[in-house]
Amino acid sequence: MKIAVFSTKPYDQEYFEKYSSNNDYSFSFFETALNKTTANLSEGFDVICAFVNDKVDKDTIEVLANNGIRLIAMRCAGFNNVDIQSAKDHQIKVVRVPAYSPEAVAEHSVALIMTLNRKTHKAYNRVREGNFSLKNLIGFNLHGKVVGVIGTGQIGIAFCKIMKGFGCRLLAYDIAEAEALIEMGVEYLPLEEVLQQADIISLHCPLNQSTKHMINKASLKQMKAGVMIINTSRGALINTSDAIEGLTQKKIGYLGIDVYEQEENLFFEDLSESIIQDDDILRLNSFPNVLITSHQAYFTKEAMDQITVITLNNIRAFEKEEPLENEVV
């Protein structure tokens, strides 16, 4: 079976080659992202493997179908960038990796909180320059703070467990309540009440029509002044222009994001010698209380192991015409 892997970085190739040595698969690794322009690269392959910022829309899928592609294997949990209905219309199966080391993403969320709060990134740079002053490095105790968790799937659950250890009061919102969290003392409340009471809000929900831009001008008005907002889920959960306005007006006291609405034009690339054309990301970077990482929350050895193994298992099940446990339907 011939597999075309798009949006490939050296670490992707390393892990696929590590786990596929005993399989009768032929991989071709493309650095380019998958979209309607690059979809012709799929000619001669049976399966394409795509990632979070590949654009697998209707036009792309039509090209894939014409090239005989039978399976789209997403090596990530999200699939909002895939036109599922178009794939069904062209009889192309779509599979994903629904869960891979939820602790990896949860722990990165906590890292953003701790760094923004205690300003360790600034302290590190100061000390390296011989500046041992504590001026403007004051933080706050996490113990006793109210943390609002939006989305309590596996990552949200892992995040709650960590924050419980800090002695935080945990409020949660989700359309489905997790019994394990209720037993742990997490309080489920309507979204509006979570937003109103939380000192820290952490987003762990999927991107869909009901969650897109859930952090916006209206929802920000419900929050405490100086609220900390953390997003390690999907960039478009936050309306960037409204967040910038919230930062300017000091409604948002801290913003930590590992995802960004327009990240497909930026993240995973070295643009240090380029002139970045995205005014919003430049504006965000200008705020001293904003911390941005480039979609690295998932990036641990354990997560990469699981992503690769589950992706290969999905492909193997398809090849053997077995039930697709992780099919997107």
Query: What are the residue numbers of the active site?
Result: 234, 263, 295
**CA-closest candidate to residue 112, choices 8, 16, 203, 21:** 203
**Cα dist. 117→121, 253, 256, 289 in Å?**
10, 10, 10, 9
Q: Where are the strands (E) in the chain, listed by range?
A: 2-5, 26-29, 47-50, 71-74, 93-95, 146-150, 169-173, 187-188, 200-203, 227-231, 252-257, 290-292
∠ at Cα 122 (117, 127), nearest 5°?
130
Residue that the structure tokens 């300003």 belong to: 119
CA distances from 112 to 17, 116, 213, 215, 297 (A): 32, 6, 21, 18, 10
